[in-house]
Amino acid sequence: NRRITIRDLQLAKDRGERWPMLTAYDYSTARVFDEAGVPVLLVGDSAANVVYGYDTTVPVTIDELLPLVRGVVRGTSRALVVADLPFGSYQASPQQALESAARFLKEGGAQAVKLEGGARVAPQVEALVGAGIPVMAHIGLTPQSVNAFGGYRVQGRGDEAAHRLLQDAKALQQAGAFAVVMEVVPSEVATEVTRALHVPTVGIGAGPGCDAQVLVWQDMAGLRGGGKPAKFVKEFAAVGDVLRDAATRFGDEVRSGAYPAPEHEYS
């Protein structure tokens, strides 16, 4: 009963098997997803939004993410745990990337890291892989660049942008990335990239042609803040409603005196 490795994920692509990936940010939910057989868990910098309540992923730090990684690693025995390198922790140089990634492996216990960007971050990917750190790449709508994009919009639309996305994916594979996440890109483009790469692609809003699919677990389970979910989200449960209901009933029973009942008491 060993952990999934990047080799297992490569073999899955070679066999034409699709696999799921979810984010996780704590021990309890990581345990549940591990028990559900989700082979890859990402401690995403989306923790900025869903754990810390920031508007974007830009402000979240390594020190904020590391404790979450530890919890997820302790909650899993099968899943490969990938830690997201936050904004500002790898862009400066391959050496900076190495120092940041090493913290997630040494102090966090993660088995791999993820970073955002195309050919521009290939030197970082090469340095990490050269040091024995598996790297998941992430292209398309890369939320750490929201200020450069001017909002969250579809990426890789049009021939030139599609061509650039393909070139980025190839450069990242060449640098040694074990998988490439594509976020919010047209399905045809994601399918073309998936066919062109020998390493697996992981889609989020990138259509059914990818080798794997990832969602933020709160989106997957219907535990959202305000607003309507992105088009690519499917809510497989209504956990927000279930929790609100449970908290409301707990409150009602405390107020009425129905809880605790005799069976909850110590004599």
Sign of CA dihedral 145, 200, 187, 165: positive
| Total residues in contact with Na ion, by rule CB under 5 A | 3
Which of residues 44, 75, 140, 176 is near Na ion by CB under 5 A? Answer: 44
- CA-wise closest residue to 216 among 37, 20, 56, 22: 22
Specify the residue, 44 or 176, whose C-beta has the smaller distance to Na ion.
44
Selection from ligand KIV, Na ion, none that 192 binds (CB < 5 to 8 A by kind) is none
Q: Which residue has the tokens 């990047």?
A: 6
Binding site for Mg(2+), residues?
45, 84, 116
Q: Which residue has the tokens 């868990």?
A: 41
3-class secondary structure, 241: helix
Catalytic (active site) residue 17: no
Stretch that binds Na ion, among 31-39, 81-89, 153-161, 242-250 (CB under 5 A): 81-89
Told to check if 140 binds Na ion by CB under 5 A, we report no
Min CB(162)–Na ion separation in Å: 22
Specify the residue, 103 or 138, whose C-beta has the smaller distance to ligand KIV.
138
Residues in the site for ligand KIV, rule: CB under 6 A? Answer: 23, 42, 44-46, 84, 138, 181, 204, 214, 216
Binding site for 3-methyl-2-oxobutanoate, residues?
45-46, 84, 114
Min CB(152)–ligand KIV separation in Å: 12
Min CB(210)–ligand KIV separation in Å: 12
DSSP state of 8: H
Query: Which of the following is catalytic: 183, 188, 253, 265?
Result: 183
Calpha distance 8→261 (Å, rounded): 50
Specify the residue, 86 or 176, whose C-beta has the smaller distance to Na ion.
86
Min CB(46)–ligand KIV separation in Å: 3
Which of residues 34, 39, 40, 45 is near Na ion by CB under 5 A? Answer: 45
Give the number of other Cβ atoms within 10 Å of residue 184's Cβ: 22
* DSSP structure string for 161-196: HHHHHHHHHHHHHHHT-SEEEEES--HHHHHHHHHH
Q: Which residue's C-beta sits nearest to ligand KIV?
A: 44
Q: Which residue has the tokens 């345990």?
A: 31
* DSSP structure string for 73-119: HHT-SSSEEEEEPPTTSSSS-HHHHHHHHHHHHHTT--SEEEEEBSG
- CA-wise closest residue to 82 among 151, 24, 164, 125: 24
Min CB(142)–Na ion separation in Å: 8
3-class secondary structure, 201: strand
Specify the residue, 133 or 214, whose C-beta has the smaller distance to ligand KIV.
214
Specify the residue, 82 or 127, whose C-beta has the smaller distance to ligand KIV.
82
Q: Which residues participate in catalysis according to the annotation?
A: 183
